[in-house]
Amino acid sequence: MQSITERSLQGTTVLLRVDFNVPMDDGRILDDRRITAALPTLTYLHEHGAKTIIVTHLGRPKGASDPNLSTRPIAARASELLHLPVLWVADIVGEEAKALHSVMQDGQFAMLENVRFDPREEANDPAFARELASLADVFCNDAFGAAHRAHASTAGVASYLPSCAGLLLAQEIRVLTSLMTEPEHPFIALLGGAKVSSKIPVLESLLHRVDAMWVGGAMACTFLKAQGLGVGTSLVEDDQLAQCQSIMDYADAHDVALHLPLDVVVAPDITSGDAARTVDVTDIPGDCAVFDVGPRTVDAMREELASCRTLVWNGPFGAYEHAPFEKATHRIGEACMSCHGTTVLGGGDAAAALEGEPCIAHFTHVSTGGGATLEFLEGRTLPGIAALEAAPSEVVHQQ
């Protein structure tokens, strides 16, 4: 796979796929981390004289135009961050988009409308991929957060253009690959989230590599129930009990310390924060559910994290959107600051839960992927990365 730094870019038109799928509220960007993460690639393209056509999706418009999901505000924010104009066109592969290469100057940026407004995008339609490819001389993928999707703009277009990885995508691959192949020990994984069924593959993959693993979030309740403990009205996946027991048996047989919560914060329901209380995991009331891990659990984690050399964290340990169930996740973030080795925070909810917290700046790497990060850590091949590896060395002429 070629890097953007290995290509001659002066005077070329580059089709740059980014993941600017940022949270919005009434046209206002709530969190621009994914845009700022791509700034090094955008700056590199500008400084090396490329005409850059930016492609991204936003939300789930289901193949139809939706003014609430237009990329126009994204282009405006990118322009502010770059301190350079970003031309926005209300087009994807129409005449206005096709004219860009002739009207743009070297080093200039343009952004297309939401690529998912065209139903052929998610279908990875070859004809649509060819049309996208016809806009440029080179394809650069910097959208790690969408690299697990085999869509026209993430994978299909690479069949028709010389292709390369942007600086962000290359960094994501480098950091996550090091976790899988050459982590410094002790290596500890923190895995949270709601449903254990969505984390089974990454649990199994990391168990082969880590020295210790902490499981939190609602999915820990399925493990606790598999141990024979009562978990009240907590979310439990009964069809995963046997799988959880198998994972615990594997960890025990291979000397991997698999830790479950020691204490938890419970309440009658998620809106009853004022009634929340901390109990031992052996004493969860039958009329309450678990919504966070307790302080004793965090203290035990803090002690172990102080000696680790590699840390990966994916998924919050509590229902962080609802006070007071965000406390443990924030305290765990602070505890991660005591780890003096490589610390990687998975994207998605874990990063969202720590947004604005001082600890987030102390992580060696904060991934921009959610599902992509999980699938990479599972050891799966991501279509967006595989497409770059198989890309042609020259333009495949359009029919």
Residue-wise pLDDT for 196-247, tens only, equals 999 999 999 999 999 999 999 999 999 999 999 999 999 999 999 999 999 9
- If asked whether residues 138 and 232 sit together in one domain, one would say no
For the segment 97-134, what is each residue's pLDDT rounded down to a tens digit? 999 989 999 999 999 999 999 999 999 999 999 999 99
Q: Give a yes or no: residue 394 inside a domain.
A: no
Domain count, the chain: 2
154 with 24, same domain? yes
| Omega prior to 201 cis, within 30 of 0 | no
Residues 71 and 130 in one domain: yes
In a domain, 373, yes or no: no
Q: Are residues 266 and 214 in the same domain?
A: yes
Two tokens, residue 267: 């309440």
Task: Please tell me whether residues 55 and 136 are part of one structural domain.
Answer: yes
Please report which confidence band the pLDDT of residue 399 belongs to, taking 50, 70 and 90 as the band edges.
Answer: very low
pLDDT confidence of residue 398: 55
Phi and psi torsions of 283, nearest 5°: -135, 40
Cβ-contact 292, 265 below 8 angstroms: yes
Do 80 and 148 fall within a single domain?
yes
- Asked if residue 358 belongs to a domain, the reply is no
Q: Is residue 397 part of a domain?
A: no
Q: End of a domain among 324, 340, 356?
A: 340
| Enzyme catalytic residues | 34, 195, 348, 371
Cα angle for residues 43, 53, 68 (degrees, 5° grid): 105
Instruction: Supply 58's token pair.
Output: 């936003």
Say which CATH number the domain at 234 has.
Answer: 3.40.50.1260
* Structure tokens belonging to residue 110: 């343009």
Indicate whether 174 belongs to any domain: no
| CA–CA distance, 234 with 218 (Å, rounded to integer) | 7
Domain that holds residue 271: 185-340
Residue 234 lies in a domain: yes
15 plus 138 within the same structural domain: yes
Tell me the per-residue pLDDT of 3-44, one tens digit each, with 9 for 90 and over.
Answer: 999 999 999 999 999 999 999 998 899 989 999 999 999 999
Same domain, 165 and 314: no
Q: How many CB atoms lie within 10 A of CB 25?
A: 8
Question: How much is the pTM?
Answer: 0.92
Residues 325, 227 within the same domain: yes
Tell me whether residue 88 is in a domain: yes
- Secondary-structure percent of the chain, ordered helix, strand, coil, rounded to 5: 40, 15, 45
Residue 119 falls within a domain, yes or no?
yes
- Per the listing, tokens 């600017």 go with 20
pLDDT (0 to 100) of residue 232: 97
Query: Are residues 252 and 322 both part of a single domain?
Result: yes
192 lies in the same domain as 299: yes
Residue 297 has pLDDT above 80, yes or no: yes
Task: Clarify whether residues 217 and 119 are in a common domain.
Answer: no
